[in-house]
Amino acid sequence: MAKRIISYKVRKGIFKLVVLIVGILAFLPSHLLETNIQNIEDGRTKDFAAYALETTAATISNTVDQLLIVSYEIESIEKVDGEPLSSVIVAYTAFGLPYAEIIADENGAYINKKLLFQK
């Protein structure tokens, strides 16, 4: 009745594999993570499997986004009559790569994640 303990190397390998998969999912375009699963019996209701997959993909993507971004830099601030109108903020990863461009104004913010592949 001896319990089998997973060795340290195997646990470390599994952890690295999970980190690699999550890292790859973070940089995939969002349209690749969406599915087109339909419920054959009733086309008006959303299939639970599709909903669960979408929710899981969105959660993983948001979590990885939060883990990757480690610093911000204010690139420009647009002012009108001394009042700030809008600003452009660049978010950087732990590797020093620009990850996203955040354009903020008084009404809200827009995030451009394609910045990583443009610069």
Q: What is the mean pLDDT of the chain?
A: 72
**How do beta strands 109-112 and 98-105 pair?**
antiparallel
State the sign of the Cα–Cα–Cα–Cα dihedral 51, 111, 93, 66: negative
Alpha-helix runs per DSSP H in the chain: 8-27, 30-33, 48-68, 115-118
User: Among all chains, which residue has been given the structure tokens 């480690």?
Assistant: 70
State the pTM of this model: 0.39
Q: How far apart are CA 15 and CA 11, in angstroms?
A: 6
pLDDT by residue (tens digit) across 74-118? 777 777 777 777 788 888 877 777 778 888 887 887 777 766 555
Residue 59 main-chain phi, psi, to 5 deg: -65, -45
